[in-house]
Structure 1
Amino acid sequence: MLSYIKFHIKHRCFNFKKTKTFSVRNTISLILIALTLVACNSKADISGKLESVVEKGTKIYLLQPENLKDVAASFFGKVIDSTVVNSDRSFEFNNIPKTKEPVLLEIAIAVPEKASNYLQTDNQATANFMPIVWKSGKSLKINAKVDAFQKSFSMEHPSEVNKALLALRDVNQKAYKTYLEGKHWELEDGSQLMEKEHAILQYQTELINFADSTPNLIPALVATRWVSTANDYERVPEFLVRQCETWKKKQPNHPWAKQLCTLSEPANLPVLVGDSFPDFKFPMITKDTLSLKEQLGDKLTIIDLWASWCAPCRIENREVLVPIWDVYHDKGLQIIAYGLESDEPAWKAATERDGANRWHQASHLQGDDTPFLKKIRVKTIPANFILDDKGVVLAKNVHGEALIDWVKNYIKN
């Protein structure tokens, strides 16, 4: 660079001696050219250093999710670069996308015997990847531990959106440690299934609260994907609807906001809180056919989805619904239970054994391939919908003591 400047200055000075036309303006032009060349040759990169023991040949990958469903999903992100960690534990990516707009990327440590785009999503404490937002012309310097990559990930001088992603990471890690890490549930007989579901919902709620409060689209979408990397939002569909409403106003042209709204279309989600529950003619255990709207309680109706082979459903019958029925049926409570049954004798025996023959029992006796579940777009049991006297959904999937308290407080007030 200096030789380039000297050459041109010398050349200009030579002309100056002969023509006397050299000026301050020429000198300034040369300086500006030199500064421009320096800027052009400066390199914006993604680089960093890994702490802890790094095995020789350890690889680190740079992934780019191409669609919303690819975010935080194993085997879906596109590998755009890779590098081997140096002996001094440093690394640097060279094939970084050049885009006008900021783009979400994922940095991932290679996991032995796994594909290069494998992301560890089951155990957040050992997650091997971290989402970042890259903007052309801005270098990113990061630091992390190999065996706790996401948990230990840090960044020098992060942008506001990367600060939000780091804050989301902290929420994710804390919620996982609080509700899920080290927990074991007895699922063989299904007796602790509801405990596990409750713990998962508490974990998800922390991420949902973050997504609902952040002013940044990309962190909100990452939080949405972390709520369910399997794209299963059956238990929290209202959250998807809220996110769609937020971002179609703020960033309506962003392709991922559009994909989010497609995901949250009513046809893709169960009946929502605030919706009128669809009327339906039920084939009853008594061989009658009853219309839902004709059987609504004076104050509340619980639509209970269960099965004779479902252990937590049976526990809910005996320990929750029977006591609720005995106390509140005469005060305006109705229960309509729908069974995912194919064995009529087993169904009838279960209702009698549990005391669930007190309230309406319905089933098409088609197992889980039933028109009713298809109509309300539900695939998982136990499940319930709590309706007011006009059939509007007030709450969903409230179970155990929480359901007893909910009914008690509503009827009392």
Structure 2
Amino acid sequence: MRPFPLKNTIVLILIILCIIACNSPAKISGKLEDTEKNDTKIYLIEPGSLKEVAASFFGKVLDSAVINSDGSFEFHNLPESEETVLLELAIKQPGKSPKYLQTGDPSKANYMPVIWQSGVPLKITAKTDEFQKSFSIEQPSEINKALLDLRDMKQKAYQAYLAGKQWQIEDGSQLLEKEHAILQYQKKLINFADSTQYLMPAMLALRWVSPEKDYERVPEFLVSQCNKWKEKQPGHPWVEQLCKVSEPSNLPVLVGDVFPNLRLPMITKDTISLKEQLGDKLTIIDLWASWCAPCRKENRNILAPIWEEYHEKGLQIIGYGLESDESAWRAAVERDGANRWLQASDLQGDDAPFLKKIRVRTIPANFILDDRGIVIAKNVHGRDLIDLVENYIQRKQPRKSQ
């Protein structure tokens, strides 16, 4: 038998190595700055559903890597899918689960979502202590650029509206101010989701709007996203999940809906049909309680002056008290001067049938109805409510003949 030439052996080995390299899956790799501990670990997590995106303790850990002394790391166990996949890279926090995600202050967030496409490597750089804030991708795809843009916008909005704020909410006195700031922050994320052409960045924005999955104050956003994506990407499992959550039975009465014509037990012991009590031009359905400090402040400083100025011009107010103590309710109504407009309560506390029927859990809240009972606005308070009533009623006033 003739020996196989050494030259041919080397060529064969190179060919085999080339074949192996060419068929090796692309990897996610990167380098972290400021890595002080040699045992720092980074995890690769795949959310299994929409509700698991940007949520602690959920998803499947696909791979993990110990950060090398030079800060480098690599993931090799990646999904083999023809579709793009949203993954999350997370720095392990001391004493916490590998799937623990810091979802509060984004400047301290220990995770960052990326879009993975099979066969396309991702190269990451970031700082360990400001992982999400400093996260970058070398030559990112357009969809990953969208994720980075969303991240930047989120950081900026948080700094503008929430960072460093100290609200005195123990007595409820600044609850509405806090809610207003949160809503301004959320609106930036909502605008991104409404404008982006990419599904997964939109779904991440949706989850960042409320990591707690509480959309009671912005249910219209869920509905608009469902309508947008079931047209653009029908059949996608995350779209189906979103649209299930967006079913009317799961949400409060929406802007544009006709408010339900419910019968209410009044403080006068009568029972009224809500529809029969609508104002000629505008009706405020005010959800409040005697124990709710911002509600009481709203009664005295906003609703009472509005009532005096605009009741004779077509404004109606119907208050509903989330009460269980009738005497406390009656005393608050008298003290606030709220006996000038209609007041109702089932006196069943947190089991209030009215709130259950309109699917509201949080007060203060309100619904602004036109003369047909259609909701034209919701949860408008303070000066904004005064301006809304004034502008609406002025527009509805008949013009004087010249």
Distance 2:218 2:11 in 1: 69
Q: Distance in 2 between matches of 1:283 and 1:245?
A: 37
> What is the percentage of aligned positions where both structures have the same residue?
69
Q: Which amino acid aligns with 2:265?
A: P
- Corresponding residue for residue 22 of structure 1: none
Look up the match of 1:28: none
Q: Does 1:215 align with 2:197?
A: yes
In structure 1, the partner of 2:400 is none
Matched, 1:309 2:291: yes
**Paired position in structure 2 for 1:145:** 127
**Structure 2 vs 1, CA of residues 283 and 153 (structure 1 numbering), >3 Å: closer, same or farther?**
same
Structure 1 position 8, deviation (Å): 10
Q: TM-score, normalised by structure 2?
A: 0.94
Tell me: CA distance 1:115–1:4, structure 2 relative to 1, closer, same or farther (3 Å).
Answer: farther
1:393 maps to which of 375, 379, 386: 375
CA distance in 1 between partners of 2:11 and 2:156 (Å): 61
Give TM-score scaled by structure 1 length: 0.92
Residues 1:302 and 1:166: Cα distance change in structure 2 (over 3 Å): same
Partner of 2:170: 188
Give per-residue Cα distances to partners, 1:337-392, cap 9 Å, x unaligned: 00000000000000000011100000000002011111100000000000000100
Answer whether contact 1:340 1:367 (CA < 8 A) is retained.
yes
Aligned with residue 280 of structure 1, among 262, 271, 282: 262
Q: Distance in 1 between matches of 2:278 and 2:302?
A: 20
Deviations 1:254-294 (A, max 9, x none): 10010010011001100000000000110000000010000
The yes-or-no answer on 1:384 pairing with 2:392 is no
Larger Rg: 1 or 2?
1
Q: How many residue pairs were aligned?
A: 390
Runs of 4+ in 1 over 2 A off after TM superposition: 3-10, 33-36, 38-43
**Residue 53 (structure 1) shift:** 3.7
1:62 and 2:44 aligned: yes
CA distance in 2, matches of 1:46, 1:344: 63
Please, which runs of 5 or more residues in structure 1 have no aligned partner?
11-30
Deviation at 1:37, TM superposition (A): 1.7
Mapping for residues 2-401 of structure 1, pairs under 5 Å: 6-7=8-9, 37=19, 40-401=22-383
User: What displacement does 1:94 show?
Assistant: 2.1
Amino acid at match of 1:347: W
Shift of 1:99: 1.3
Counterpart code for 1:189: D
- Give unpaired runs (5+ residues) of structure 2: 396-402
Give me the whole-angstrom Cα distance separating, in 2, the residues matched to 1:176 and 1:411.
Answer: 36
In structure 2, the residue corresponding to 1:384 is in which secondary structure?
A: strand
- 3-state SS of paired residue (2:172): coil
Q: Deviations over 1:126-155 (max 9, x none)?
A: 000000011111110000001100000000
Which residue of structure 2 lines up, in the alignment, with residue 19 of structure 1? none
CA distance in 1, matches of 2:105, 2:65: 25
Q: Distance in 1 between matches of 2:96 and 2:372?
A: 54
1:4–1:81 distance in 2 versus 1, CA, 3 Å: farther
**Any conservation in 2 of the 1:5–1:34 contact (CA below 8 Å)?**
no
Q: Is the 8 A contact 1:75 1:117 kept in 2?
A: yes
Contact conserved, 2:52 with 2:59, CA < 8 A, in 1? yes
